[in-house]
Structure 1
Amino acid sequence: MLKFLKRSAKGVTAPHDKPTATMETVRMPVAKQVIIPMSMHIGAPAEPVVQKGDTVLVGTLIGKAGGFVSANIYSSVSGTVKEIIGGFRMVNGAVCKAVVIDTDGNQTPDPSCVPPEVNDKKSLLAAIQACGLVGVGGAGFPTHVKLAADTIDTLIINGAECEPYLSTDTREMLECSDTILSGISAVMKHCAIGHCIIGIEGNKPECIKLLTSLTKDMPGVEVKELPMRYPQGAEKTLIETCTGREVPQLTAAGKPGLPADCGCVIMNVTSVSTLGKFLKTGMPLTVKRLTVEGDAIAKPQNIEVPIGTLYRDVIEACGGIKENVELGKVIFGGPMMGGAAPGVDFPVLKQNNGLILFSKEKAAIPEPGPCIRCGRCITACPMGLEPVHIAEAFEHKDYEALDKYNVDLCVACGSCTYACPAKRLISQNTTLAKAWYLKTKKEKAGK
């Protein structure tokens, strides 16, 4: 492998393009029905604990975590369970169970939702697990699992929000700074973490100013202005920028390196704020703030919706599709790392933070040209990968070559595709190569 610049200096300069950043969050009227999938996190799906005809309230447990690496799921509405779907297909093709609830419009809270008693690390992790908290910035990794490590000396709060269009974390910092700080305090105190860095990209000066002011008397807490470079919020990039440390590719045991292996744990700014809210109110994770944007939506805005609300109901609440505009693509998440939904009959998940709607004209994909070996994809990759060689290895289904070029380190940030002058679908191809490599690796290990 060649020597590369450090991760924090790589990536691309994606447009800021966040007109909703100044728009205060509005609360969406409750839809007539929600569909709440039992797999909204990395790990084992939750198992439904309600049946058809059951009455549920906001905060009622409807899905019990299926293991340690899993998360509880709660009703986001009050109403009646209409059915349990056995094979609900998600937008990524995965199939899981889902609870369908007809709402009563009252949003009556479950009286069992009371603030938890937390006095040590064990009780904090139990509270986090009870909250159903996962990384709400996109990955959906159960939070209690990442905080269980005993090797952590630095808590990093990810306020980079480096994707174009998205501004939900910006609004969390401006509207909910009190619960961000109370969440940070609880984690630092009960997990015995002495240092916290709140990383915010420099294009959010109002957030930097506010949190710097509020944390000036908090021992061990600092706000760090991050370079405006996508993907600044990527896990390994963020750690290197904030601390100068590097997550090892492999541990001494031969396992892939994690942030905890270099003494760090990362929490999204909205995740730590959600923890602060739960510790204060006892209400688990039931709502999500979305940035609804794109040239096809009539009224772009930041909107808070009950988890399980269908995209079509969110779109209607935002004024619908513009007149004389043909909808071309619906993206859940940001335009760089988000996924394209085949339609609008899909529910908002815990880890969704955006709904981007493009017209048919803007969604059109340019015809890719031939690779000219310019190397821009290599220069852009924050992981130091060589997409050109990965593409060649994947074309020949060369497992050893893909292993040599570390295809499994790809984070699917899309920087390579963005940087490519020939408009080749490099990130998509690398994602397929990574999937084939991991499948083959598993098959080899099973022999």
Structure 2
Amino acid sequence: MPTTFKGGIHPSEMKELTSEKPFEFLPLPDQIFLPLSQHAGKQALLLKKKGDAVKKGETIAEADGFISAPVHSPVSGKINKIISLLTLTGTRSDAVVINRTDTEEEESMEPLNPDSIARGQIIERVKQAGIVGQGGAAFPTYVKLSPPPDKKIDYVILNACECEPYLTRDYRLLIEKTEEVIAGLKLILKATGVSTGIIGIEDNKPEAIKQLKTYLNKEENILLKTLKTKYPQGAEKMLIKAVTGRETPPGKLPFDVGCIIQNVGTAVSVYNAVVKGKPQTHAFITVSGLGIKEPKNLIVPVGTPLKNIIDYCGGVKDNAKKIIAGGPMMGFAQFDLNSPVTKAASGILVLTEKETSTTKESNCLNCGRCLSVCPLNLAPTRLYKFARFNKFEEAIDIGILSCMECGTCAYNCPAGIPLVQWVRFGKRKSSALLKQKTN
């Protein structure tokens, strides 16, 4: 029987809109808006200036510090200007505006032999290629491939759950690029010095499971673990619990329980960087929802404005109400279609009133439904109240900084309270409070 974790929900999957649609390449836009902050950590350091010519694959900005990642141009062209813009997550970043030219000049790295490559070479190549995690947080991948010496890592777990509704990006990668996924995982295992890899996949993907089993027949050190379909099965702590039975304590990381988590898309990017010499310049995304005329799975140049993507998919329907970057549970509502796609983008959803209808907010009913589904055993209503009434020390004491903002509480709330928004507000204020105390 498929394993899982305590709590969670099972919203309507809506994956049938795109699950059988192969990836298409989005035509190159005339203008690219390339943010210098597409990753967790410090913004990349710009190496170019206005008027400079750039080649496809060329490094535009270098990593600035340990937690940072370089940025490469997905097109050949000329830098028109440097601006400040809002990214899909609502954070502000400096960005390079590149006017594309028709020249096909490309700058790439030397392909490396995956059989003879050394561990350090893999990590360095991943760093040079600017690869960031594609599971949501966009953490620089080379850092995750370099666990502290005192942390014994037993498993590299490949997250193939894709538990958010609508999204089928990872599913299509598993179907269309199975060899690259497995080869990328093997490179990650080699880079980390870990002997056992595990692919965790939900049981609502029978075709992908069947294909993976075929390819894994000869792989003695990579296991396939089928998990119960439930949200948020793909969250790190939930995935570790379901796959290994290990509990990740509050405030601790997967390193601390002997695990490294990587996403399916990240594995493909590692393969492309090492074997093909390609930096991470494109994003694999799902464009879906009942409000888009032609749902698709796309390979999109990083820096492409949302408007270009939506137009390529036929535009929005008259009854479209909301556009979300990411999945419907943890994604970010968009108000500016000029915002560009970044490396970790997973989807663009155009939702109708039917898909976004919510219960009108009322007072908390003290029903306990939010507590029953919280996968981290937190008390969402107490977190919400402490945040709302500026009691941030109390919020910290009961674990507000441990919340991963998965949205299961808000989804299950009959009073329609925007619990996640209040928790996000409380987390920002609580973090600022702790920083103030340490200074």
Secondary structure (helix, strand or coil) at the match of 1:22 reads coil
- Corresponding position: 1:94 with 2:94: no
Write the distance in 1 (CA, Å) between the matches of 2:25 and 2:267. Answer: 21
Q: Judge which range, 278-287 or 391-400, deviates more.
A: 391-400
Q: After the TM superposition, which residues 260-339 of structure 1 pair with which residues of structure 2 at under 5 Å, given as runs?
A: 260-322=255-317, 325-339=318-332
Deviation at 1:91, TM superposition (A): 4.1
What amino acid is aligned across from residue 413 of structure 2 in structure 1?
C
Matching residue of 2:201: 200
Cα distance in 1 between the residues matched to 2:201 and 2:308: 32
**How much does 1:390 deviate?**
1.5
1 CA distance for matches of 2:385 and 2:281?
45
Task: For residues 335-384 of structure 1, give each alpha carbon's deviation from its aligned partner in whole angstroms, at most 9, with x where no partner exists.
Answer: 00000111211100001010001235644544212211110101111111
Cα–Cα, structure 1 residues 106 and 419, in superposed 2: closer, same or farther, change >3 Å?
A: farther
Amino acid at match of 1:172: L
AA of the residue aligned to 1:180: V
Greater displacement, 42-51 / 387-396: 387-396
Partner residue of 2:374 out of 360, 375, 381: 381
1:421: how far off? 1.4
Residue by residue over 1:188-241, the C-alpha shift from the partner in whole angstroms, topping out at 9 and shown as x without a partner, is: 223220111100110001111111221121121111111111000001000111
- Residue of structure 2 equivalent to 1:253: none
In structure 2, the partner of 1:114 is: 110
Are residues 1:14 and 2:11 paired?
A: yes
Distance 1:357 1:17 in 2: 13
Deviations 1:149-200, CA, capped at 9 Å, x for gaps: 1421200000000000000000111111111111111122232201111001
Residue 249 of structure 2 corresponds to 248
Give the letter for the 2:256 counterpart.
D
> 2:64 is matched with which residue?
66
Give me the whole-angstrom Cα distance separating, in 2, the residues matched to 1:339 and 1:433.
17
Q: Which amino acid aligns with 2:158?
A: I
Match of 2:74 in 1: 76
Counterpart Cα distance in 1 of 2:105 and 2:260:
36
Which stretch shows the higher mean deviation, 8-17 or 408-417? 8-17
Corresponding residue for 2:391? Answer: 398
Distance 1:335 1:396 in 2: 28
**Residue 233 (1) aligns with residue 234 (2):** yes
Q: 1:139 to 1:45 in 2, by over 3 A?
A: same
Per-residue deviation, 1:392: 2.5
The aligned runs of 1:1-80 (5 Å cut-off) are 8-19=5-16, 20-80=18-78
1:187 has 2:182 as partner: no
CA-based RMSD: 1.7
In 1, Cα distance between the equivalents of 2:298 and 2:422? 34
Tell me the secondary structure at the aligned position of residue 203 of structure 1.
coil
Q: Is structure 2 residue 124 aligned with structure 1 residue 123? A: no
CA distance in 2, matches of 1:361, 1:227: 27
Q: Tell me the TM-score normalised to structure 1 length.
A: 0.93
8 Å contact from structure 1 (residues 310, 347) kept in 2: yes
Structure-2 separation of matches of 1:361 and 1:195: 44
Deviation of the 1:34 alpha carbon: 0.8
Who is 1:252 aligned against?
Answer: none
Mean Cα displacement is larger for which, 410-419 or 215-224? Answer: 215-224
Distance 1:238 1:93 in 2: 27
- 5+ residue gaps, structure 2: none
> Is the 8 Å Cα contact of residues 85 and 339 (structure 2) preserved in structure 1?
no
> Partners of 1:123 and 1:194 in 2: how far apart?
18
Write the letter of the residue equivalent to 2:214: S
Change (3 A) 1:58 1:445: same
User: How far, CA to CA, are the matches of 1:354 and 1:399 in structure 2?
Assistant: 33
1:426 aligned onto 2:411? no
Paired residue for 1:173?
174
**Maintained 8 Å contact 2:4/2:228:** no
| Residues 285 and 272 of structure 1, relative CA distance in 2, 3 Å threshold | same
Residues 8 and 240, structure 1, Cα contact 8 Å, conserved in 2: yes
Shift in alpha-carbon separation, 1:83–1:395, aligned structure 2, 3 A: closer
- Kindly report structure 1 stretches of 4+ aligned residues shifted beyond 6 Å: none
The residue type paired with residue 57 of structure 2 is G
Paired residue type of 2:277:
G
Between the aligned partners of 1:44 and 1:202, the Cα distance in structure 2 is: 38
State the secondary structure of the residue aligned to 2:97.
Answer: strand
Letter in 2 for 1:245: R
The one-letter code of the counterpart of 1:214 is Y
